[in-house]
Amino acid sequence: MALIDTRREQMFPVLSAAQIDMARRFASGEPRRFAPGEMVFDVGERGVPMWLILDGSIEVRRRDGRGIEVPMVVEEAGQFSGEVSQLAGRPALSTGRAGHAGVTAIPFDAAHLRALVIGSAELGETIMRALILRRVGLIEAGGVGSVLIGPPDSPELIRLHGFLTRNAYPATVLDSRKAGEGHDLVERLGLGASDLPVMLCPNGTILKRPSDAEAAACLGITPDLDPEHLYDVAIVGAGPAGLATAVYGASEGLSVLVLDQRAIGGQAGASARIENYLGFPTGISGQALAGRAFSQAQKFGAEVALPLEVTRLVCGTDKPGVRPIFTLELGNGSTVRSRSVVIASGARYRKLDLPNFERLQGNGIHYWASPIEARLCEGEDVALVGGGNSAGQATVFLAPRVRRLHLILRGSGLEASMSKYLIDRIGALPNVELHAHTEIARLEGDEARGLTAATCRHRHSGAERNHALRHLFVFIGADPNSSWLDGCVSTDAQGFVVTGPAAQPASAGQRPTFSLETSRPGVFAIGDVRLGSTKRVSAAVGEGAAVVAQIHRFLGGSSLDGTAGVLAGSLTPSL
């Protein structure tokens, strides 16, 4: 059954008179009357408030990039409009018109909505749950958001669909090769193969072979950042560590900006199921965990900018007693400024050193196993390289969906690098074939056909075996994503950021370096990019929480020369 059928009361609760009175204290304006049939909000409209209905009704409909509208729900007195987009003032994903008798409703813009969900715990829980479930319901129902047209197995469409999915934006995929709507739309629009994939945005805009940044701009995902605004903390990376910093920092009154060049969740966001994270005995997908953290960060007022790549950190002044201002240069040519910086940029996936590898990336070679990839290789033979927990989680997720999975290991077994519960589960899978002391020797395929085969070589005997397959999953670890630091802070030979006393030994008259602080005062590093970190989601979240206390001490505790000082306004609550 659909979510709207099983959890309708939670998705569309009716507030009591007392709850309405409480909510009115946080309204951003006076009640407004809409005539019958009048547009209350429309798809793609920015800054749409949440509307709390006093009398009458709002007829909510979903509409996708083809312009097709489908009725969703009629919200009546005591109910409220919107979904999680309203927490940050992002464009609306649905359309709403006043019902046959009109409607009178109270507006709550993004800032006042956040104040409401924080200011009233009971009411805030009801509203937050409804907003989150509505977004999930939109994704589940389909027929809303963007429409992607092209060959479903093309690297560009897989990338684009993955970008939208990992950022929880609904999208419908139409196959341009088969007879049907996708093929008909391609012909009707006069599109050629070189134009595909095409993205039909909800506002009617048509994008040919869009980049992630172009898609985000069309959907209003990427906010307009003011280069003159000074944040308390800028966080580079929206993985578990960065999102934890955003939640704890924003909830304690810091003005927070999170930047990531792709999606929320980082590498953990691509995990099919995390089963050893405290508090989730049945496990949780990385995407679900990241989505919850993202909603929390928005609830407390953190600003999240996607997909924006930070290309360079410009270091602040080294003058004694002068608090630095850091500048981050972005890939789109703009800049942002902050009083402190948290490096949570994680790591980049390692690649196999093979001649044909680069051009087959995304065309049969994958670095994560999401439902998108699982659908592409359903019923086929696949290979997976790696022996860590990420490889184990991907194996357990993929195996029930494929005909055979070849698990390729350079070492003698899984015991040295994988959790026992995953080893036991893999051992019970009848279609997983373990190849120990083995490595990929050659890849076959080209840009037109994609990956077609892989040759494995036993590292001791030299014996080779060729496997016909179209999908290879690579989980061989990652290298620190720190090149953008441009020498601003100290790193080790591999690029991991050094923190604590090892980064900057204390000298006479100066305060000791905080444990998560780098060689540059005011710049902190957490998560996988930090030298000596524990490569676990729970450890990353813990460091994200711990670093906020150190940022507070840096901003408002003691100045760089050891004298007491308070940075005016840095700890002022934003709500």
DSSP states of 528-574 as a string? GGBTT---SHHHHHHHHHHHHHHHHHHHHTB-TTS-B---TTTT---
Which pLDDT value is given to residue 321?
65
CATH fold label, 3-141: Jelly Rolls (2.60.120)
pLDDT, one tens digit per residue, over 294-305 is 999 999 999 999
pLDDT, one tens digit per residue, over 329-358 is 999 999 999 999 999 999 888 999 999 999
CATH fold label, 230-348+479-556: FAD/NAD(P)-binding domain (3.50.50)
Residue 466 reports pLDDT greater than 70? yes
**CA atoms of 172 and 148, how far apart (whole Å):** 6
The CB density around residue 197, as the number of other CB atoms within 10 Å, is: 25
Please name the residues in contact with 434: beta carbons below 8 A apart, sequence gap of 6 or more.
407, 409, 413, 414, 426
Say whether 336 sits in a helix, a strand or coil. Answer: strand
% of the chain beyond a pLDDT of 70? 95
**146-219 in CATH: which number?**
3.40.30.10
Residue 394 pLDDT class (50, 70, 90 cuts): very high
Average pLDDT (558-572) is 34
pLDDT, one tens digit per residue, over 210-251 is 999 999 999 988 988 999 999 999 999 999 999 999 999 999
Residue 318 reports pLDDT greater than 90? no
pLDDT, one tens digit per residue, over 47-94 is 999 999 999 999 999 988 888 888 999 999 999 999 999 999 999 999
Average pLDDT (385-411) is 95
Q: In what order do the strands lie in the sheet with 381-385?
A: 365-366, 472-474, 381-385, 404-408, 432-435
Is the Cα torsion angle 29, 34, 37, 39 positive or negative in sign?
A: negative
**CATH topology agreement for domains 230-348+479-556 and 357-476:** yes
% of the chain beyond a pLDDT of 90? 78
Which pLDDT value is given to residue 535?
86
Which pLDDT value is given to residue 319?
65
Is the Cα torsion angle 267, 398, 292, 389 positive or negative in sign?
A: negative
Q: In what order do the strands lie in the sheet with 310-314?
A: 230-231, 335-338, 326-330, 310-314
Residue 559 reports pLDDT greater than 80? no
Average pLDDT (443-451) is 91
Say whether 32 sits in a helix, a strand or coil. Answer: strand
Which pLDDT value is given to residue 88?
92
Residue 508 pLDDT class (50, 70, 90 cuts): low
The CB density around residue 143, as the number of other CB atoms within 10 Å, is: 17
Residue 564 pLDDT class (50, 70, 90 cuts): very low
**CA atoms of 376 and 378, how far apart (whole Å):** 6
**CA atoms of 59 and 368, how far apart (whole Å):** 40
**Residue-wise DSSP of 40-57:** EE-TT-TTPPEEEEEEEE
Q: What 8-state DSSP symbol labels residue 398?
A: H
Which pLDDT value is given to residue 382?
98
The structural domains of the chain, with segments of one domain joined by +, span 3-141, 146-219, 230-348+479-556, 357-476
**CA atoms of 191 and 573, how far apart (whole Å):** 52
pLDDT, one tens digit per residue, over 163-194 is 999 998 999 999 999 999 999 999 999 999 99
Please name the residues in contact with 502: beta carbons below 8 A apart, sequence gap of 6 or more.
none
Residue 320 pLDDT class (50, 70, 90 cuts): low
Q: What global pTM score does this model have?
A: 0.90
CATH fold label, 357-476: FAD/NAD(P)-binding domain (3.50.50)
